Amino acid sequence: MTEATKPEGERIAKVLSRAGVASRREAERMIEIGQVAVNGKVIDSPALNVTAADRITVDGKPLAAPEPARLWLYYKPEGLVTSASDEKGRDTVFDHLPEDMPRVMSVGRLDLNSEGLLLLTNDGELKRKLELPSTGWLRKYRVRIKGNPAEPDLEPLRKGITVDGEKFQPMSVSLDRIQGANAWLTVALREGRNREIRRAVGAIGLTVNRLIRISYGPFRLGELQPGEVEEVKGRVLRDQLGMDPKSEEASGRKPAPKPIPKAEPVRPGAPGKAPRAGWAAAKPEARTGRTGAPAAAKPATKTTVKTFSRRPPRPQTAETLAAEAIDAPKPWRKPAEPKSRTGARGMAPKPGPAKPGAKPGPRPKPRG
């Protein structure tokens, strides 16, 4: 089928499953018995594609919008049936869930006499993904058996055993301890056939008298007590399943378009911005500061700034030449002799060398 001939929309059973009504198989059964109507017409075949424009009702009630995918860990007590309803009237796990929980579905099953971890989800696509054999998640059980087996007795389970013509894959089996007339085993397998562990253990001559599932892939029973429920955080779902349960894509909704940012008003005449057309005619007072005709635009003038590295030369007149002669540096002259410091501190300066032809003067008399 080419893209041109491929019908639009999605299968009605898939849409019901994603909305949390039921699993795909259960949704198909509901369609066949006439519980689903599309656009006011009851349908009896799941071979129908629907789009967001179609109006879907289940038992006369409009189909709710898809919710974000969520996952819960539930400690299933012994004696409850893992189904939405039971033909024998026995209690189901859904009869004992908290009242504030939305409509959920079980991932896989645990038989009536088994207990332990049971995964619950509100999303049919997530349920299908967790149950696919290709996922191959390891499931671990604590198994109490009647008797005291030895290691060789458990070897057929490790190699793979055939029961009533059905071949079971090899299991990981470890003998933990002997407790009186019983023994505790830890069994791990990757397939979930009906009563697989009980049938395989019975084939080697032993009887299971208690079976507790302690993990399902990366999800563990932990400290949960029988009947308790704990929701898995969105971050864990994102890390373990590679999905974001809070995203629009995971919930089946189209992301809302991003709002277009409003353009900021541009002040006319701002640098790099062109003035709006007709602005001066529409609001003349905005430019003049008063009502009336707009002021005439002044012609743009170019301002030139000159810089000088020295003083400009003055005109060569008689006055300027005389001033320059006064300011000009004088020729070198011999420095004058230092003046006498006679009388300073009661001492006379030392006589210097006599000039040629000069007569010696009288020696100064000391004071005091």
Question: What's the pLDDT tens digit per position in 211-223?
Answer: 999 999 999 999 9
pLDDT more than 90, % of the chain: 35
Q: C-alpha distances in angstroms, 336 versus 339, 351, 356?
A: 9, 16, 18
The whole-number pLDDT of residue 357 equals 60
Average pLDDT for 88-92 = 88
| Structure confidence by residue, pLDDT tens digits, 274-291 | 445 444 444 444 444 444
Buried b (16+ CB within 10 A) or exposed e, 100-124: eeeebbbbeebeeebbbbbbbbbbb
Name the residue type at position 316: Q
* pLDDT bucket at 321, cuts 50 / 70 / 90: low
Q: Are 110 and 120 in contact (CB under 8 A)?
A: no
pLDDT above 70 covers a percentage of the chain that reads 64
215-232 as b/e: b if 16+ CB within 10 A: bbbebebeeeeeeebeeb
Model pLDDT, residue 256: 39
For residue 123, indicate whether it is catalytic.
Answer: no
| pLDDT given for residue 64 in this prediction | 78
**Segment 28-49 mean pLDDT:** 91
**What length is written for the chain?**
368
Of the listed ranges 117-121, 169-173, 196-200, 258-262, the one predicted with least confidence: 258-262
Contact indicator for 121, 105 with CB cutoff of 8 Å = yes
Split at pLDDT 50, 70, 90, the class of 320 is low
* Greater model confidence, 340 or 149: 149
Two structure tokens written together for 108: 């896989």
Task: Tell me the mean pLDDT in the region 298-318.
Answer: 51
Give all domains of the chain, ordered by start, each with its CATH number.
10-62 (3.10.290.10), 71-133+226-241 (3.30.70.580), 138-216 (3.30.70.1560)
Predicted local distance difference test score (pLDDT) of residue 189: 92
* pLDDT of the residue at 143: 97
Residue 131 has pLDDT above 50, yes or no: yes
**What are the backbone angles phi and psi of residue 243, rounded to the nearest 5°?**
-140, 155
What does the block give as tokens for 135? 């996922």
Alpha carbon distance 344, 355 (integer Å): 25
Beta strands in 228-287 (DSSP E): 229-231
Catalytic residue among 54, 111, 153, 244: 111
Average confidence (pLDDT) over 104-120: 93
| DSSP code of residue 95 | G
d(Cα 201, Cα 144) in Å, to the nearest integer?
Answer: 11
With CA atoms as reference, report the closest residue to 126 among 245, 304, 25, 258. 245
What pLDDT, on a 0 to 100 scale, did the predictor assign at position 20? 73
- Return d(Cα 195, Cα 211) in angstroms, integer: 11
Q: Is the pLDDT of residue 227 over 60?
A: yes
Per-residue pLDDT at 113 exceeds 70 = yes
Tokens of 70: 């969520």
Greater confidence (114 vs 353) lies with: 114
Position 118 pLDDT exceeds 90: yes
| pLDDT recorded at residue 14 | 82
Computed over every residue of the chain, the mean pLDDT equals: 75
